[in-house]
Structure 1
């Protein structure tokens, strides 16, 4: 539904998630001997169908250095890594405030097919609105308040996705 070869990125949407944008690249870490510090490095899945020695984007410049494409991939991997770093603490804070709730999404497509998406979670909007000033301040200071509101707002996209699926089915 979102994949379309006629689009430059191949992705037919306003936003390409970093986990898709990274393609065959992965985050790895090296720990130099005699050091406690780990350095992030880029790994590539050489068996991925998008990897080629003869066509596509170059990873390095002719006379050395990273290509703009590799710099873009590095940025995508950095976004993913940053998200992984904060998620444990963010979920702890959301759970402590009883903000996380399961959500099942049920809908019927235009062709009569009924769908149920289960195993998903969202932020309980009423509980978020009922937080005290100090709780809101703590979430804001940690940078998680904006993320909580983004999760609530993202639920409005479900109807858009259903409409896209219906459009795809009618083609």
Structure 2
């Protein structure tokens, strides 16, 4: 059960964060949100797809880490076997919250750094300090603040990206069938770019995608799916 709190250097002055990787620290997930600003880094290591967010009734890009719940094939011996960790995994146990503050007499929702106090990475005895002894931000918190800023901007970019893909009917449901060791594993609930629909777009529609940087993102996502063979090798190992 999550226990979210707005981070401050008085209530949480002694908190430390365990930064090592491992299933005990929440890294054992099969899907995680991806942001189009990191597609270039992600596509070198992981397959990228989309999923439908039923709560918000929209689509979002995801990085595929395993083929069954609680499986991260890229995490071996408590270490990521890749050169890049998705932002949505780097942020743990921190998240973005919002507080209402007055700005020139007008109430506004201001983003603030929050922390899940019940997350297994949170400790009082081991790990890296969140705050310096005099109350300033530690290098760890500076890094996390940057990650959260990229995530906040990334959510907005993802929404615009997926909205245009939906408008152009470029998303299609997909069931992955992965064969290894004589068995076939099916993974549903994913969406992919409809290549046939993409090939039928008009020049004006392609130009629209290109102007927003979405055409590059589409081809990076499609190229990333060659990493499925890498996942199969990890499953066999």
Pairing of 1:20-39 with structure 2 (within 5 A): 20-33=89-102, 34-39=105-110
2:209 corresponds to = 139
Matched, 1:74 2:151: no
CA deviation string 1:101-149 (max 9, x = no partner): 1111102212x23200111001122332332221122112223222212
Q: Which has the higher contact order (CA 8 A, sep 6+)?
A: 2
Establish whether residue 152 from structure 1 lines up as the match of residue 222 from structure 2: yes
- Secondary structure in 1 aligned to 2:106? coil
SS in 1 for 2:187: strand
Distance 1:36 1:88 in 2: 25
Taking the TM superposition and a 5 Å limit, the aligned residue runs for 1:119-138 are 119-138=189-208
Residue 2 of structure 1: aligned partner: 74
Measured in 2, the distance between the counterparts of 1:79 and 1:124 equals: 28
Q: Secondary structure at the match of 2:101?
A: coil
Residue 118 of structure 1 is matched in structure 2 by: 188
Moved beyond 4 Å, runs of 4+:
none
Q: 1:94 & 1:118 partners in 2: Cα distance?
A: 20
Single out whichever of 29-38 and 10-19 deviates more from structure 2: 29-38
- Structure 2 stretches lacking a partner, 5+ long: 1-72
Q: Does 1:17 align with 2:89?
A: no
- In the alignment, the residues of structure 1 paired with residue 77 and residue 146 of structure 2 have an alpha-carbon distance, to the nearest angstrom, of 24
Report the TM-score, using the length of structure 2 for normalisation: 0.63
Which of 31, 55, 59 in structure 1 is aligned with 2:126? Answer: 55
Gaps of 5+ in 1: none
Deviation at 1:28, TM superposition (A): 0.5
Higher strand share: 2
How well do the aligned residues superpose, as a CA RMSD in angstroms? 1.9
Query: Separation in 2 of the partners of 1:88 and 1:69?
Result: 29
Once residues 37 and 137 of structure 1 are traced to their aligned partners in structure 2, the CA distance between those partners, rounded to angstroms, is 36
From 95, 112, 115, the equivalent of 1:44 is 115
TM-score if structure 1 supplies the norm length? 0.84
Cα deviation per residue 1:58-113 (whole Å; 9 max; x = unaligned)?
Answer: 11223342212112112222222222112332222112212111111102212x23
More helix by share: 1
Distance 2:134 2:160 in 1: 43
